[in-house]
Structure 1
Amino acid sequence: MTLNETVSTRKSIGFLSFGHWTPHPESGTRSASDVLHQSIDLAQAAEEVGADGAYFRVHHFARQLASPFPLLAAVGARTKRIEIGTGVIDMRYENPMYFVEDAGAADLISDGRLQLGVSRGSPEQVIDGWKYFGYQAADDDPDGAEAARQKTLLVLQLLEGQGFAQPNPGPMFPNPPGLLRLEPHSEGLRQRIWWGAGSDATAVWAAEHGMNMMTSTLKWDESGEPLHVQQATQIRKFREEWAKHDWGFEPRVSVSRSIFALTNDMDRRYFLGSGERSDSFGYIDESTRAVFGRSYAAEPDELIAQLRQDEAIAEADSLLLTVPNQLGVEYNTHVIEAILTHVAPALGWR
């Protein structure tokens, strides 16, 4: 299959909001209340203009979105079609039991539209923040990565819906027969868990355990090549590993990108000259070298030509557009609609 043939396939297109808020006069989200209400409003507006997904980043100890499930449930109650997800939940902070109960309730409220991205998470605002939540990691797991993976595997097991808890012989309410499971159980949610893979190895690990795959605007640098080339390799390794197993469903893969079609004077004022021509490389901690993806900002015809060369977008079935949420619901709806209207059809994504 050639690159152009791969590009000319329909893609699920959603937005990814980091949910920033800043108590500054020029910010459209000056409080946590602002960003939560506007996140719901943006999901509704994105659904109305034809987007496929509303995804939210999770950051603790920051002026950003943090606890995902109340927001996901509210979005689910106010929308009808759009997928609702995260990108990603840092599993180091999570109690798997509460996670499964909250996820099951939010998924049922949305009638089965939840798409939950989970992972070890990104660099934090504080040192070892999950420890303040009452969690510890083993001595040989200083950054909690293995703890996050083990919690995720337990979540996957619990989402299968099998009973595991011994019932009380004198309960307040009658129990169904046999061992008890967590409730509410949402059938099918197990197949809608995504692992945020920062490396080739974690992409393979996701396939080994039957999770969909998310790859972001940065990745561990494993070859010195541009981000989109490294991510395309990562996606192919994920699919090669998936083919070795029988998970009973087809996997999905998403990539995140900052993409802005310049269609009016406001777009040009905000983003003209902001698109980078190449990726950057640097360290996200003392030992981890990463490649940071470029952003795209250009007139539609030029933007289409640039995006044709992005091998990772070509390989993926889902694209998440990072949005500047502090610019408000109306403008961000325009940003999303501009891609759907002026860019996606020319690339075969619509």
Structure 2
Amino acid sequence: MKKIGFLSFGHWTPSSQSQARSASDALLQSIELAVAAEQLGADGAYFRVHHFARQLGAPFPLLAAVGAKTSRIEIGTAVIDMRYENPLYMAEDAGAADLIAGGRLQLGISRGSPEQVIDGWRYFGYAPPEGGTGSDMARRHAEVFLDVLRGQGFAQPNPRPMFPNPPGLLRIEPHSEGLRDRIWWGAASNATAVWAAKLGMNLQSSTLKDDENGEPFHVQQASQIRAFREAWKEAGHAREPRTSVSRSMFALVDDRDRAYFGHSGQDEDQVGFIDEKTRAIFGRSYAAEPDVLIEQLRKDEAIAEADTLLLTVPNQLGVDYNAHVIEAILTHVAPALGWR
């Protein structure tokens, strides 16, 4: 059995060819798609966060709105760039959104991906420590965020407060019990996956990762998941971890599918460079008739290793079509592979 959700980047463009022509369209359609996905029986609605871009950028209002409109589906991110985040303010927002959703948040955080602007986090008021990097800063923000989510008091109360305080040191409010166990780290390398395991975060692995040995993408990703689980075991955490992978995956069941994705030409892994220095491997897309797609997916070692699969959706094609994409996987593919 596998949890299956969607992952939307929330692109919008004023082009007449797009169904999402404004930020308002992208946000409202994201809520509509989450509602539709829940009705179809999907397990999760996840959103990518990018700053300075015509994409979803402020996750917590969206997550809270989705939480208020749904009742069962998991609601998450993949991922929030921690270089941009004030971890205490983020803990307040996350706690509030999780309470609105009834404890359904699954927050993916990470160092983030290449940006739209140079060192965009500096405009948000953040800078790495002397001699450190943006990655160091992201990991430090993540550690502080995880610490305050434990719900322990740390702030000295005012002896003459406006309102009465509970006894002892004060914590971030609102606090949502259990949210600390529902934080995921988006790891691009085996080393950061191991680091995340030691801190007790779940693992999100995307459609790209550092090319660490030249093997096919899905093989490297499966090895990353196994390294994460081994590190988790060694750390002695009490609960079982979760792991997710993302895939662009389309079952060609009607003429629309064939027109959009029948000749995508992205059926092989690609290798490139991120920030002109990091060699990365980008996983292939899957688009085929259901019987062919099923056989292709049987060979994907990383999907087999993960307990959660996120389907990246082309959000600019509109809510109805993306609901169709999700339904096609749930109906024509998942049962044959034992995911349902």
Q: Give the TM interval when normalised to the shorter protein.
A: over 0.9
Say whether the 8 Å CA contact 1:275–1:298 is kept in structure 2.
no
Question: Among residues 200, 207, 213, which one is paired with 2:190 in the alignment?
Answer: 200
Q: Give matches, 1:57-68, under 5 Å.
A: 57-68=48-59
Question: Among residues 326, 331, 340, which one is paired with 1:341 in the alignment?
Answer: 331
Q: 1:223 maps to what in 2?
A: 213
Question: Among residues 74, 94, 103, which one is paired with 1:112 in the alignment?
Answer: 103
Q: 2:128 maps to what in 1?
A: 137
Alignment partners' CA distance in 2, 1:32 and 1:277: 31
* TM-score normalised per structure 2: 0.99
Amino acid of the residue matched to residue 205 of structure 1? W
User: 2:201 matched to 1:176?
Assistant: no
User: 2:29 matched to 1:29?
Assistant: no
Alignment partners' CA distance in 2, 1:276 and 1:163: 51
Q: Give matches, 1:234-313, under 5 Å.
A: 234-313=224-303
The SS at the match of 2:7 is strand
The SS at the match of 2:106 is strand
The SS at the match of 2:280 is strand
Alignment partners' CA distance in 2, 1:259 and 1:277: 11
The SS at the match of 2:127 is coil
- What are structure 2's unaligned runs of at least 5 residues? none
Q: 1:161 maps to what in 2?
A: 151
Alignment partners' CA distance in 2, 1:138 and 1:158: 21
Q: 2:136 maps to what in 1?
A: 146
The SS at the match of 1:177 is coil
The SS at the match of 2:75 is strand
Shift of 1:247: 2.3
**Distance of aligned partners of 1:175 and 1:139 in 2 relative to their CA distance in 1, 3 Å threshold:** closer
Alignment partners' CA distance in 1, 2:95 and 2:267: 43
User: 2:85 matched to 1:94?
Assistant: yes
Q: 2:39 maps to what in 1?
A: 48
Say whether the 8 Å CA contact 1:32–1:63 is kept in structure 2.
yes
Say whether the 8 Å CA contact 1:275–1:297 is kept in structure 2.
no
Alignment partners' CA distance in 2, 1:302 and 1:286: 36
Shift of 1:275: 5.0
1:63-113 deviations in Å (ceiling 9; x for gaps): 000010000000000000000000000000000110000000000000000
Q: 1:16 maps to what in 2?
A: 7
The SS at the match of 1:313 is helix
Shift of 1:138: 2.6
Alignment partners' CA distance in 1, 2:332 and 2:295: 12
Shift of 1:334: 0.2
Q: 1:6 maps to what in 2?
A: none
Say whether the 8 Å CA contact 1:19–1:35 is kept in structure 2.
yes
**Distance of aligned partners of 1:56 and 1:95 in 2 relative to their CA distance in 1, 3 Å threshold:** same
RMSD: 0.7
Question: Percent same amino acid among aligned pairs?
Answer: 74
Q: Give matches, 1:308-319, under 5 Å.
A: 308-319=298-309
Question: Among residues 62, 65, 71, which one is paired with 2:62 in the alignment?
Answer: 71
Alignment partners' CA distance in 2, 1:139 and 1:175: 38
Alignment partners' CA distance in 2, 1:331 and 1:31: 18
Alignment partners' CA distance in 1, 2:12 and 2:281: 27
Shift of 1:119: 0.3
1:9-31 deviations in Å (ceiling 9; x for gaps): x1000000000000011100000
Alignment partners' CA distance in 1, 2:244 and 2:147: 23
- What are structure 1's unaligned runs of at least 5 residues? 1-9
Alignment partners' CA distance in 1, 2:89 and 2:203: 23
Shift of 1:218: 0.3
Shift of 1:278: 1.6
Q: 1:4 maps to what in 2?
A: none
